[in-house]
Structure 1
């Protein structure tokens, strides 16, 4: 029996922290090269103890098999602007040597009956502990902002109805999922226009910041000069 959950979850928290830094670093590399980043932002969490216990009961996971059979104790979420970005991120993750992909589940091409869309990747990630290396299972979910909005709402409602949605609500959620995906498709159609506009906006913003910085330096020089007179 797990007596010290904090000790048990520590390697998972380390894995989440490290992966967030690495994935956000990928986004920064694109920005430094003034290229469109397929990664909009990254979040991560370690599953709360009560959620782990509930899932163990629901999925009939034995405690001595917890590390092997529960793949999402460590969870990362990558948000993208466009559906095409999702598959670009998947390709980037496949190329990395610091993690091993164990499983991929494409719920975008193979949408769930509920309307849920996302791309899930289960990885094995090594963390370095004072006791040595420990390989941690983690799940990375990759989705658009529209997909994430729908999934967040559906997840909240799931707690209320325990997965047994009223028929009318279920139908509305499915229609909402289709509407969200239609929005994604429309944005994909004009993505080049969007990317160009974002590049121009970023360039203007950086120029304004640099100008403000120069004015600040001139002000300091002028103050110094007046003091010396």
Structure 2
């Protein structure tokens, strides 16, 4: 998609606000993770990855939706221009992180899609949130949308592999591979459940024993 330089400048000017939103949310998450670690001796967040869509890919997504490629439509209809992926060790960590985000006074959760309790047919699992966060600029305050995906390491490994295969076959994955991917998703879920069980047992052993007296 060829874009005029003047139009591209306007889009890049808009997208810097999404960078500010990512900076804001990343800072919040790092603080929450460190505080949780201090209180519970366990950090729920293993990795944080963030990215911003390019103006070109955003315009293409608007076109696929049958919408005009305008700045207004991008702000209104494209919710994943700014995205953060949180990877954690355990399924319970996912919901702990969600609760920490939910309790932030200046974060508004606009949408929740729980693909852990209700996985996609191909086996995909993740917790998706669309939030907005206030960004204080020199002349105004903007509420900016950010998509947050929260997964375990096993879920993330599977999703990364599925994504690569999806595009390698131009979205037309052979049935045999689809079946293998679903089986791999089931194996990843089994691993998550086993690790959760082990964590629960470790926590029980780690509890201080009651002193008889």
TM-score higher than 0.5:
yes
Say whether the 8 Å CA contact 1:94–1:101 is kept in structure 2.
Answer: yes
Say whether the 8 Å CA contact 2:58–2:74 is kept in structure 1.
Answer: no
Structure 1: any 5+ residue segments left out of the alignment? Answer: 199-229
Higher share in helix: 1
Q: What does 1:6-45 align with in structure 2 at a 5 Å threshold?
A: 6-33=12-39, 35-45=41-51
Shift of 1:195: 6.2
Shift of 1:171: 1.0
| SS, match of residue 133 in structure 2 | strand
**Structure 1 residue ranges (4+ consecutive) displaced by more than 6 angstroms after TM superposition:** 195-198
1:124 to 129, 132, 143: 132
For residues 104-153 of structure 1, what are the alpha-carbon distances to aligned partners after superposition, in whole Å with 9 as ceiling and x for unaligned?
Answer: 00001110011110000100111111231111111110110010111111
Aligned residue number for residue 52 of structure 1: 58
Aligned residue number for residue 147 of structure 1: 155
For residues 152-194 of structure 1, what are the alpha-carbon distances to aligned partners after superposition, in whole Å with 9 as ceiling and x for unaligned?
Answer: 1111222222322111111111111111111101101101355
> How much is the aligned-residue C-alpha RMSD, in angstroms?
2.0
Structure 2: any 5+ residue segments left out of the alignment? Answer: 207-213
Say whether the 8 Å CA contact 2:32–2:100 is kept in structure 1.
Answer: no
In structure 2, C-alpha distance between the alignment counterparts of 1:196 and 1:68, rounded to whole Å: 48
Computing the radius of gyration from Cα coordinates, the structure with the larger value is 1
Say whether the 8 Å CA contact 1:41–1:80 is kept in structure 2.
Answer: yes
Asked if 1:70 corresponds to 2:78, the answer is yes
Alignment coverage as a number of residue pairs: 198
TM-score (norm 1): 0.80
Shift of 1:60: 2.5
In structure 1, C-alpha distance between the alignment counterparts of 2:202 and 2:54, rounded to whole Å: 38
